[in-house]
A and B are shown apart, each in its own frame.
Chain A
């Protein structure tokens, strides 16, 4: 589930002053531009590997992690907060007597790391007593000493805070000048410096960067008491500060002039559009409920893919390990064997951990597996899940899919969602071509309200912008739209997907799973897609 409270926590709780503990220690901005010497990390890792082997572990992996975050939070003409955090430590996972054990320490000395490795081994041995079947790890070849870095152009951690503040306050001023009553804008920058070593013979040094620039514009009509918001149309991305360059080639203008964004974002331009569109929302007519053909922009579809495909195809959910929190899945193993018709033949959905610019892209996952791309749904049929090393054997696979992740050095790595994306249509088709064929439909841009049941059957989604489509033409802006789906019927109602020239990513910075809960960041790509005969409800109510 996506964490609804995170923005509140970062924007308001931090505004109050003291930091929540999970974010790590607060540091000066200039400290964000430094790394730990690889030789030091290797010494720490070897101390853990040796200590665990001596204590009786048959497998050990070590993650030496330095997690950096920066938040710049503004509203209107005011900076509410600038926070830089760092958290450094070592997480050690072992198998002993066929069971997992884990321990972590923030004491960066060889003796402390060795002690934690022995503790992890002792925990594994204790866990083995109640374990019904020993852990089976899919083989993963050691890769020796290698490194990988997110292919960024401008390291956002090196951009002065003043430049970031100037950018956000400029965005806010533009929105206010264009008719916004209120505007909030935030910049989140993340850098995970992760060193992984294992008894398989891998020493993997990775430098992972992510960025997100959300904004919210509010328009109010005091006389009627009505208010409306329009969220920004950016996506969190695995990119550097170049994402905010707003290059012309990365702009995707819809037939009715709505500008969407690809691999870069023009935040100021979007804020101005948001202000105008939020004002228009105050006057837009309410949707007539019923069945419509929906044309969904990628800035919207990513969330529907995330909830109705990404989550149900996580193998731990399918097996029941998440039953008490995130839930299970309707997409049970028998359905994969039977090549269940998950969607129409237009629906091919892949998982990947490699696509440049995505949130999920890394060279190796958090158990040292080289990442890849693989099909989940091929021409509408369910063909595969997302599995990690200790799950691969359940599917008869000989290797992990490489989608294991821990959100912190002190968290145990486990199966997390890869990027899961709807592949573009093979035939040439633009958004205008697609809309030209729709008689009675709604064009939806941006993600809004979202909710799905614990087996991922019944979902409801809102959006940011809704436009009528009548007889092949986009008409007026409308409001109060939400659509309800049953997952397999929805994906089987997909009648066409625009070609690769329209392909773009959306994503989540804070996807929550597990107990205790961990977050992960994941992208979902698609081209604009059409779904026929979807149930649309009207969400307007009156409080009298």
Chain B
């Protein structure tokens, strides 16, 4: 019973909420079926399917909160999980920042489910691996990759009469392609909600081309360069920065969005005026659930408008304290851009560096969001609008805030997901001035 229908879920949740004697009760059912296949050295290494369904019950007596979970749904189990949550709540310390369960809401559904993705079979996964491996083997290249797909549902109800139910699907494919002698490496990644348009056999060609073209890399001196970050390369930096858009940290004076003398930078010009970022659960390319983890409705909301910070992320407690209206925490991020592809941007570049992918990005200084990380799997020198030769990988030390003040041109946004992090994003390829590379890496 990993994926329940709305009726099945509602029946269980209604029972649970009715069973609770606490001041308030929120119950959430979530279930998923996730499949994966992993391959390396042109062989399948592991594959599996994991199914799970969980019921989480959170109750509150005054400001004392307790949570319990269970994966059985008969009447006795439901009574047990409610009892356990109530027992835990009675023992819990008071939470001075307690905020009551959300009131009854009306959610406008988002298009997060694809029948094609939900129908993926073990045979489909085996074919994805085989298509990747066969293409690489034929050109004496070595494939290592991972396909992960899944379908899920989430349903919740609370003692205020609120209820939500929706299904979702997702697919994430990555493949690292290396030359047999280990001197060249390429990569391709694809993140989709609907698998209909996915073809590993086609996508892997991108990784293969980059692997073959990146052998015999030359060393350039570290320094400041004009770069073209492919959307996957930009995702690591932008995705990292957006984690620090919390209003509380800014108001408390411990964020790059804190203002000298107190307060936050809402309304200030922090970025180049061409930078526009927003969140929108209904966006056709990156749809996400219409509510956040607490059941608060998500909204379309500008985050950066013409380079000015216009909204920060307020928790319900912090919004209440600051006299703001809390909206659902976002699940996606969309950045505006132009119409040009990465290839178009390359054609318009006199001298520069193309970065396929960024890697192992970590915070160096939260005061300026200075990040360090490396280029990987296809770094090339561009001259007179053409890729001239592969270059050795660089370590960068760069702040996305500074980077987004050094824009030459933005291309057409595409759907990407960072290596680490849950945000699904629409990001453009970016042509940027004065990107700071601080040392060379011998890694291929």
Within 8 A of B (CB), among A455-475: 455-458, 460, 462
Question: Given B260, B262, B393, which contacts A453 in the complex, CB threshold below 8 Å?
Answer: B393
Give the shortest distance, in Å, between A37 (CB) and chain B (any CB).
22
In the complex, chain A residues whose CB is within 8 Å of the CB of B95: 78-80
User: B364 touching A17 by the CB < 8 A rule?
Assistant: no
Q: Which of A202-210, A223-231, A340-348 contacts B (4 or more CB under 8 A)?
A: A223-231
Using CB atoms, name the residue of chain A closest to B246: A12
Q: Which of B163-171, B279-287, B369-377 contacts A (4 or more CB under 8 A)?
A: B369-377
Asked if A35 is an interface residue, CB under 8 A from chain B, the answer is no
Distance A357 CA – B174 CA, assembled complex (angstroms): 39
Question: Given A28, A224, A453, which contacts B88 in the complex, CB threshold below 8 Å?
Answer: A28
User: B41 touching A319 by the CB < 8 A rule?
Assistant: yes
Interface readout for B350-382 with A: 1 if CB under 8 Å, 0 if not?
000000000111111111101011101000000
User: A539 touching B397 by the CB < 8 A rule?
Assistant: yes
Interface readout for A132-170 with B: 1 if CB under 8 Å, 0 if not?
100000000000000000000000000001000100000
In the complex, chain B residues whose CB is within 8 Å of the CB of A449: 362-364, 372
Q: Known interface pairs A18-B293, A454-B376. Does A537 touch B438 (Cβ–Cβ under 8 Å)? A: yes
User: A227 touching B368 by the CB < 8 A rule?
Assistant: no
In the complex, chain B residues whose CB is within 8 Å of the CB of A454: 359-360, 374, 376, 443
Asked if B190 is an interface residue, CB under 8 A from chain A, the answer is no
Q: Known interface pairs A223-B261, A225-B260, A460-B395. Does A4 touch B420 (Cβ–Cβ under 8 Å)? A: yes
User: B442 touching A26 by the CB < 8 A rule?
Assistant: no
User: B44 touching A227 by the CB < 8 A rule?
Assistant: no
Asked if B348 is an interface residue, CB under 8 A from chain A, the answer is no
Asked if B38 is an interface residue, CB under 8 A from chain A, the answer is yes
Q: Known interface pairs A13-B293, A515-B36, A515-B146. Does A324 touch B260 (Cβ–Cβ under 8 Å)? A: no
Question: Given B176, B399, B421, which contacts A543 in the complex, CB threshold below 8 Å?
Answer: B399
In the complex, chain A residues whose CB is within 8 Å of the CB of B52: 21
Using CB atoms, name the residue of chain A closest to B373: A451
Asked if B191 is an interface residue, CB under 8 A from chain A, the answer is no
Interface readout for B74-105 with A: 1 if CB under 8 Å, 0 if not?
00000000001101100111011100000000
In the complex, chain B residues whose CB is within 8 Å of the CB of A328: 182
Using CB atoms, name the residue of chain A closest to B45: A321
Q: Which of B213-221, B251-259, B301-309 contacts A (4 or more CB under 8 A)?
A: B251-259
In the complex, chain A residues whose CB is within 8 Å of the CB of B243: 8
Q: Known interface pairs A26-B69, A165-B93. Does A462 touch B43 (Cβ–Cβ under 8 Å)? A: no
Distance A24 CA – B438 CA, assembled complex (angstroms): 43
Give the shortest distance, in Å, between B274 (CB) and chain A (any CB).
17
Within 8 A of B (CB), among A298-351: 319-325, 327-328, 330
User: A516 touching B148 by the CB < 8 A rule?
Assistant: yes
In the complex, chain A residues whose CB is within 8 Å of the CB of B420: 3-5
Give the shortest distance, in Å, between A440 (CB) and chain B (any CB).
21
User: B40 touching A324 by the CB < 8 A rule?
Assistant: yes
User: B441 touching A453 by the CB < 8 A rule?
Assistant: yes
Distance A161 CA – B88 CA, assembled complex (angstroms): 12
User: A457 touching B26 by the CB < 8 A rule?
Assistant: no
In the complex, chain A residues whose CB is within 8 Å of the CB of B92: 82
Asked if B193 is an interface residue, CB under 8 A from chain A, the answer is no
Give the number of A-B contacts (CB < 8 Å). Answer: 216
Asked if B125 is an interface residue, CB under 8 A from chain A, the answer is no
Within 8 A of A (CB), among B144-164: 144-146, 148
Greatest chain A CB density within 10 A among B44, B88, B270 is at: B88
User: A330 touching B367 by the CB < 8 A rule?
Assistant: no
Asked if A438 is an interface residue, CB under 8 A from chain B, the answer is no
In the complex, chain B residues whose CB is within 8 Å of the CB of A410: 50
Q: Known interface pairs A13-B293, A21-B54, A223-B261. Does A455 touch B252 (Cβ–Cβ under 8 Å)? A: no
Using CB atoms, name the residue of chain B closest to A8: B243
Within 8 A of B (CB), among A410-425: 410, 412
Give the shortest distance, in Å, between A174 (CB) and chain B (any CB).
19
Using CB atoms, name the residue of chain B closest to A82: B92
Distance A480 CA – B366 CA, assembled complex (angstroms): 11
Asked if B142 is an interface residue, CB under 8 A from chain A, the answer is yes
User: B443 touching A224 by the CB < 8 A rule?
Assistant: no
User: B372 touching A412 by the CB < 8 A rule?
Assistant: no
In the complex, chain A residues whose CB is within 8 Å of the CB of B67: 17-19, 26, 83
User: B364 touching A482 by the CB < 8 A rule?
Assistant: yes
User: A19 touching B361 by the CB < 8 A rule?
Assistant: no
Asked if B444 is an interface residue, CB under 8 A from chain A, the answer is yes
In the complex, chain A residues whose CB is within 8 Å of the CB of B362: 4, 449-451
Asked if A222 is an interface residue, CB under 8 A from chain B, the answer is yes
Distance A22 CA – B387 CA, assembled complex (angstroms): 45
Distance A451 CA – B439 CA, assembled complex (angstroms): 13
Distance A323 CA – B438 CA, assembled complex (angstroms): 25
Distance A79 CA – B93 CA, assembled complex (angstroms): 7
Asked if A249 is an interface residue, CB under 8 A from chain B, the answer is no
Question: Given B30, B69, B146, which contacts A325 in the complex, CB threshold below 8 Å?
Answer: B146
Asked if B175 is an interface residue, CB under 8 A from chain A, the answer is yes
Give the shortest distance, in Å, between B28 (CB) and chain A (any CB).
6
Using CB atoms, name the residue of chain A closest to B41: A320
Q: Can you list 23 residue pairs at the A/B interface with Cβ under 8 Å?
A: A17-B26, A18-B293, A19-B67, A27-B84, A28-B91, A79-B93, A102-B46, A181-B254, A223-B261, A225-B260, A321-B41, A324-B40, A324-B174, A450-B362, A451-B360, A452-B360, A454-B360, A457-B441, A458-B395, A482-B364, A484-B439, A515-B38, A541-B370
Residues of chain B at the chain A interface (Cβ within 8 Å):
26, 28, 30, 36, 38, 40-41, 43-48, 50, 52, 54, 56, 58, 65, 67-71, 84-85, 87-88, 91-93, 95-97, 126, 142, 144-146, 148, 174-176, 178, 182, 243, 252-256, 258-262, 270, 293-294, 359-368, 370, 372-374, 376, 393, 395, 397, 399, 401-402, 420-421, 438-444
Which 3 A-B pairs give the minimum distances between C-beta atoms?
A: A323-B144, A458-B441, A455-B443
